[in-house]
Chain A
Amino acid sequence: MPVFVKDNEKCVGCLICCFACGRAHMAVGLESSCIKVSSIGGISRGFAVYVCRGCIDPPCSRACPEDALSVRKNGGVLLKEDRCNGCGACVKACIFDAIGWNSKKNKPVICIQCGECARNCPYRVLEYVRT
């Protein structure tokens, strides 16, 4: 779990992390982003950031009917694209909603634990620790 949400209270809701995640997947925009940001019951109360926490026993992987998501040694999953049938069961299984979607390929976009989001966050809401 290399990316931590260090302090949601400091999140300003700028979505710079979401765009950074998109770029890490060679995309521009928000559909490919694995990160979600939303307000906590209105903007006056601040925001919450949801980023893949690299589960040791990931529900997304268990939900995949095609075994397309293999579990990484230190947590998180890897997508074997050729196996994926685009059913979206992994997205539904993630309670963090931390899986993006590539509608051109009709396949999920999975966090590669690269830390681009944390490196781009202007307010150090996210922290990247190499594991």
Chain B
Amino acid sequence: MIKQDPIKRVLYIDLSKKSYSIEERDDLFANYIGGTGVAIKLLNQNCPSNIDASSPENPIIFAIGPLNGLFPIASKTVALFKSPHTGNLGESHAGGRSALAIRMAGYGAIVIKGKSERPSYITIHGDKVYFRDATTLWGLKEGVSPASLIRRREEGAGLRTIMRIGPAGERGITYSCVTLETYRHFGRLGLGAVFGSKNLKAVVISGKRDLPVLDFKDYRALYGELLKQLAESDKMKKYHELGTPANVKPLYFSKGLPIKNLLTNEHDGIDEISGESFAEKHLSRRVACSHCPVACIHLAALRKPYEDEPYFYRTVNISYDYELLYALGSMLGVTDTKGVLSLIEIVEEMGLDAISTGVVLSWLTEAYEKGIITDALTEGLKLEWGNVDTYLEVIRRIVYGNGELYEDLRKGVAYASNKYGGKEFALVFGKNEMPGYHTGYGSHLGVLFGARHSHLDSGGYAIDKEMMLKPLNEEQLADKIITEECWRQILSSLVICFFGREIYIPEVVIKCLRIAGYEIDEEDLNRIGKEIYREKYLFKIKHGFEIENLSLPDRIFELPTSVGILDRRFIQKATEILKEKIKSLL
């Protein structure tokens, strides 16, 4: 670490006392690099084990790493907290302008504790922190954007991040998200509800500075090389052009795209909801996170007529990507682009996690079809696959309704299926709703054993893709899952967007870190990756997670995946190996 680098500065904010302080934590940033590595240490130090996730004592940790602000596609911020959704590790990553804003404000991490007496938002402008009143921003209904109001009052246009919650976060829905820069999210595991429990509506961060590097000439040469690769390499092509929605069709044809709660591999409207179709009909603009040339954020224009006023239209721009087309498209049997976009729009307005919301709705639809959920419980709503208007109404009731069912659905599929039944088709892994990959052993086991139960923990779908060509045995699969998850701890400590992972291979990471003043070799990186992984699992265990209680829903065994019907014996053996390997790391 370079002595003058402000990355080591940690900003502590106490909402209860309306106070803040700055500490220099060279120790953390030298040993754990930054991002997720530093954040898990700070979480373990700041989060008592016996608290509820909605307690004022639950800290929100934002952390970035030494490569943010230095190299392209180092564009992510890591958020750690105790998850109200799973009760253990909450971890979510987001881009937008957040990472650069924190770097330019002069911090490596921000720790927010306590609870504001009234709704408030925090503004961090460089060294100054302001506690602002947000009572009039609280409880805003659809159509009024709190961020547009905040934008008018705060400085830093162009470089600032505005992280905020919607009604879902205010009302404590355990899968509510934090939105930033309109289109990016700390999506999974309920950071929105943690904001809400603290009466924290938003966090604004801005600043401007130059950063130190060890050797400017080397820096400039390496930067040029990386930028060229990010722009021209075939490895990045999938994120340009159609973006991640390009995966809809290939995954459908290989049976990896989940459809109607995994009841079928067939979808009549697949061409309509493909990446190609969205691009042709709706793609209106592409935007990027700060300091990333890829511009993977695809915006769709949705033009809607006013029913009561002829010749009046409104056009909204909605961001879409693969996970959204899965969760609010194929998973619900929706067959038209406008239907999917309308669902994305309401999920954005409410501030919900799109993946969990989609799986809540798909579980609900099947449970209703099977008679587990009755008309009395839905208060007259008749769930059916592909019926967008009903889904829109269910989402409104989940956020605003008072009925027993809707209150239960605010806690996710694990909770609802535990109460009403239908566990065998409850697509949850470690209490988190499944991501869009029914591709095989890698995806399902990767999510089940991943520290945050996310497809991004170990990218198991990529392992399945390999297995389609060349089968692996249980031992090899378990090895790949854990090795990948440990390596990703390094990327998310730097913090490099995972889309750049094929460019930022260990040898490149070592060169970049050298310029940032870190003398680290590949062995060190592997050791630190394992150490971070270990710390995360220890946090989970300390907060009640039991690896022995993990199980897979029956449904995933009933429908062919990209590698065929899953073999229970293979899963059983791989599960045992994974448990042993994880325990040996702790």
Contacts and interface: CB of A to CB of B under 8 A. Distances in A.
B501 interface: no
A32 B210 CA distance: 7
B158 interface: yes
Contact of A38 (B70, B158, B183): B158
Interface string B166-184: 0000000000000001110
20 contacts: A12-B288, A14-B291, A14-B292, A14-B293, A16-B72, A16-B227, A16-B293, A19-B72, A26-B216, A28-B69, A29-B209, A30-B159, A30-B210, A39-B157, A39-B158, A43-B287, A44-B182, A44-B285, A120-B227, A122-B231
A30 B208 contact: yes
A12 B219 contact: no
A104 B212 CA distance: 12
B223 interface: yes
A31 B208 contact: yes
A62 interface: no
B299 A15 contact: no
Nearest to B289: A14
Interface string A72-106: 00000000000000000000000000000011100
A102 B158 contact: no
Nearest to B231: A122
Given A16-B227, A28-B70, A30-B208, A46 B285 contact: yes
B157 A38 contact: yes
A28 B211 contact: yes
Report, nearest first, the 9 A-B pairs whose CB atoms are least far apart.
Answer: A38-B158, A14-B288, A12-B295, A29-B210, A44-B317, A122-B293, A12-B288, A27-B210, A29-B211
Nearest to B285: A46
Contacts of B213: 28
Contacts of B219: 28
Interface residues of A, number: 31
B218 to A, nearest CB: 12
Interface residues of B, number: 40
A29 B181 CA distance: 20
B350 to A, nearest CB: 18
A102 B70 CA distance: 17
Interface in B175-211: 181-183, 208-211
A26 to B, nearest CB: 6
A51 to B, nearest CB: 13
Interface string B70-87: 101000000000000000
B291 A13 contact: no
B290 interface: yes
A15 B289 CA distance: 9
B158 A36 contact: yes
A118 to B, nearest CB: 14
Interface string B91-104: 00000000010001
Interface of A: 12-16, 19, 22-23, 26-32, 36-39, 42-47, 102-104, 120, 122-123
A13 B406 CA distance: 40
Contacts of A13: 287-288, 290
Contact of A28 (B210, B287, B294, B316): B210
Interface in B219-250: 219-220, 223, 227, 231
Contacts, number: 88
B148 interface: yes
A43 B291 CA distance: 15
Nearest to B159: A30
Given A23-B223, A31-B209, A44-B317, A14 B290 contact: yes
B181 A43 contact: yes
Q: Which of A30, A39, A42, A47 has the most CB of B within 10 A?
A: A30
B104 to A, nearest CB: 6
Given A29-B211, A31-B210, A43 B158 contact: no
B18 interface: no
Nearest to B292: A14
B291 to A, nearest CB: 6
Contacts of B288: 12-14
Nearest to A50: B158
Given A12-B286, A12-B295, A42 B148 contact: yes
A104 B209 CA distance: 10
Interface string B277-291: 000000001111111
Given A37-B158, A38-B157, A102 B210 contact: yes
Contacts of B287: 12-13, 43, 46-47
B209 A30 contact: yes
A23 B220 contact: yes
A63 B287 CA distance: 37
Nearest to B232: A122
B212 A28 contact: yes
A47 to B, nearest CB: 8
Nearest to A122: B293
A104 B151 CA distance: 29
Contacts of A123: 295
Contacts of A23: 220, 223
B290 A15 contact: yes
A40 B275 CA distance: 27
A34 to B, nearest CB: 13
Nearest to A120: B227
B210 A22 contact: yes
Contacts of B182: 42-44
Given A15-B100, A37-B158, A43-B181, A29 B295 contact: no
Contacts of A38: 157-158
Q: Which of B158, B295, B299, B317 has the most CB of A within 10 A?
A: B158
A89 B260 CA distance: 63
